[in-house]
């Protein structure tokens, strides 16, 4: 029987192989989607911030969600993960309808996210932040809490797992420090490590590289890749195109709230709709003295 690491690595390879057969077009179906969203809309007054007709996230792959500022990426994340309410739409996780489900319930069934502005609990120690991430803790129940013999052994296992992840993320020397004393990059690592305490099937990272120094970026890249190799599906929002190209198996592009392109990184970077979304439809047109773009006939 194969080990967990071998099985997980083969799942990641299988996901990449499956995506190689998928057409590069918006809303395309995937061979084994873990998350499917349909007709998801969010309006703020007269502004439609999100209008996603159909999108699927392939299980076992690293998928990047990119787009210019204001494209609706983080709002879409907030809707899917229960931190905002959609005006319309439905989405499923592992085939289960989860539209409008509370974030804590989503975390319990395997969908966990991080934030662009980290949510580490500043006045708690690093190890206590990690402990909070573990699921199904017997000691959290009111009556069980007064009987330590019911949860002591579980608490020890949680501590062992916490320390293992802190060592992996190079935070083991900060175990007794308050989370608020960590640097911005270290808080990103802590939030990612804490998310893994919940043993997610899908982890959603909102701009994991924002505000992180170049040396720490390489560490974060390695951690994201290792998540995929361990069988965790990764969906992340990012503006760093070098990072997107380096680690993504698939890229989804949003502009003005809608999905305008999908495909492998190389194909997406060459897509004219993507270039226009980032640079403007007339980015390569000759301008008149007044700054207006010339038409094809030169008028």
158-174 pLDDT, tens digit per residue, is: 888 899 999 998 898 99
Find, among 176, 196, 182, the residue nearest to 128 by Cα. Answer: 176
CA distances to 175, 225, 292 from 189, rounded to whole Å, are 13, 14, 47
- Give pLDDT tens digits for 247-286: 999 999 999 999 999 999 999 988 888 888 887 754 455 5
299 pLDDT above the threshold of 70: no
296 pLDDT above the threshold of 50: no
Please state, in angstroms and rounded to a whole number, the distance separating the CA atoms of residues 77 and 44.
Answer: 16
Band (pLDDT 50/70/90 cuts) for residue 3 is very low
Q: Given this model, what pLDDT does residue 137 score?
A: 63
CATH 3.40.50.300 is right for the domain spanning 4-120+182-279: yes
Decide: 124 and 215 in contact? Cβ < 8 Å: no
Residue bearing the bigger pLDDT, 52 or 229 = 52
Q: Given this model, what pLDDT does residue 156 score?
A: 83
- The arithmetic mean of pLDDT across residues 30-46, rounded, is 95
Most confident of 70-79, 127-136, 180-189, 215-224: 70-79
- Give pLDDT tens digits for 201-227: 999 999 888 777 777 888 888 888 898
| Residue ranges covered by each domain of the chain | 4-120+182-279
Please state, in angstroms and rounded to a whole number, the distance separating the CA atoms of residues 223 and 120.
Answer: 18
Residues 6+ apart with CB under 8 A from 70: 256
145 pLDDT above the threshold of 70: no
Find, among 102, 109, 106, the residue nearest to 83 by Cα. Answer: 102
- Give pLDDT tens digits for 177-196: 999 899 888 888 898 899 99
Q: Given this model, what pLDDT does residue 8 score?
A: 59
Compute the Cα dihedral for 86, 87, 91, 97 and give only its sign: positive
Counts for the chain of helices (H) and strands (E), in that order:
10, 10
6 pLDDT above the threshold of 50: no
């Amino acid at each position: 029987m194969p080990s967990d690491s071998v099985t997980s690595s083969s799942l990641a390879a299988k996901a990449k192989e499956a995506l190689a057969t998928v057409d590069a077009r918006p809303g395309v179906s995937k061979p084994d989607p873990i998350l499917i969203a349909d007709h998801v809309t969010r309006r703020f007054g007269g502004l439609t911030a999100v209008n996603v007709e159909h999108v699927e996230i392939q299980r076992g792959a690293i998928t990047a969600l990119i787009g210019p500022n204001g494209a609706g990426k983080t709002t879409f994340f907030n809707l899917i993960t229960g931190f905002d309410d959609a005006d319309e739409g439905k989405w499923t996780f592992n085939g289960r309808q989860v539209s409008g489900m509370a974030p804590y319930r989503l975390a319990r069934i395997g969908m966990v996210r991080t934030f662009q502005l980290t949510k580490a609990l500043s006045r708690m120690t690093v190890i206590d932040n990690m402990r909070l991430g573990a699921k199904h803790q017997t000691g959290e129940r009111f009556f069980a809490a007064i009987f330590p013999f019911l949860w002591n052994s579980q608490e020890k296992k949680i501590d062992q797992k916490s320390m293992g992840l802190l060592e992996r993320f190079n935070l083991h020397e900060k175990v007794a420090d308050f989370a608020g004393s960590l640097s911005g990059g270290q808080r990103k690592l802590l939030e990612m490590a804490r998310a893994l305490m919940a043993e997610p099937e899908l982890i959603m990272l909102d701009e994991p590289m924002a505000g992180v120094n170049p040396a720490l970026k390489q560490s974060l890249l390695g951690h994201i890749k290792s998540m995929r190799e361990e069988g965790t599906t990764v969906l992340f929002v990012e503006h760093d195109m070098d990072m997107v190209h380096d680690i993504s198996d698939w890229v989804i592009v949003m502009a003005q709230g809608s999905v305008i392109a999908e495909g492998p990184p190389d194909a997406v970077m060459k897509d004219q709709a993507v270039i226009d979304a980032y640079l403007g439809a007339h980015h390569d047109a000759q301008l008149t003295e007044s700054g207006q773009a010339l038409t094809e006939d030169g008028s």
